[in-house]
Amino acid sequence: MSIGRVIWWPINTLRRFLLACLRYVPGEHVILGHMITLRRFLLTFWRDISQGKALHRRGGGPQILDFFRSPARGDEPTVLQDYKTDGLFTVEYPDERLPVYERFRVLPVLVYDTEDGNVRCTSCNICAKVCPPQCIWMTQAKSPKGTVVPLPEDFFIDMDVCMNCGLCSEYCPFDAIKMDQNFELSNYERQVSHIYSLQDLLVSSEFYAKTHPEAWASAEEVTERNKVGKKKDQRLQKALAAAKPAPAKASQPAKV
């Protein structure tokens, strides 16, 4: 008989005895739930001790050293918790982190093309109209002549109002607005810094491709990028045609 079975045999016997007694106690299910949690708690300690990991964190690194030295920013170990995870333990954030999955979304961002720096947003105002809490507002840019230019002059998002639903990203016809994964947004002031402006929201298409590789490579995204590219070429040709000077008229001979 192993040492583990010798240790846990009296505990399991006591557990069965208590379960038999709980049948006649009001609120037995509440007490039973606490007993299940306590059992998993004790099993966690026993497994770590038996595997020689009593003084190590789940994310890696000895605890004795980690008490006085935190990992550098970006070097924090990632702790994976899934259906295979056994035991009760705490992910010691920020020294340890849970993995951030691709579909995790927080705040919207505006994408510009890395190749030419072109901002995809045309300030069509569709995202502001479909936003349920109405946290998006913008103004459209204008040329020196006063005509409308398909670019945003100002673009703002109130992060305290945003409900992270992603509808703005779904309805954007130019694939210009996407959902970002950055959740570390807390600070000591919320009157100014929680209003994100155009410069705060701009990210490159290269950045989005790194944070969302599956979505970037999907057939739907590729098709949408091709459509956006055609629209951009059409706008460019239209702008070039408008800027092209009109041909000079041939001078007519003076009549005598």
186 CB neighbour count, 10 Å cutoff: 7
Note whether 179 and 169 are within 8 A (CB). yes
User: What ranges in 55-164 are assigned the alpha helix state H?
Assistant: 63-66, 126-130
List, for residues 63-79, the tens digit of each pLDDT value.
555 555 666 666 777 77
Look at residue 12 in the predicted model and tell me its pLDDT.
Answer: 73
Q: What is the CATH number of domain 110-185+192-241?
A: 3.30.70.3270
The secondary structure of residue 227, as a DSSP letter, is H
Q: How far apart are CA 118 and CA 136, in angstroms?
A: 21
Stated as kind and residue range, the H or E segment containing 6 is: helix 3-22
Where the chain has pLDDT below 70, the residues are 1-9, 18-19, 21-28, 53, 56-74, 83, 86-88, 239-240, 242-256
- The pTM (predicted TM-score) of the whole model is 0.66
Q: Can you give the residue ranges of every domain in the chain?
A: 3-54, 59-99, 110-185+192-241
CA distance 159 to 169: 15
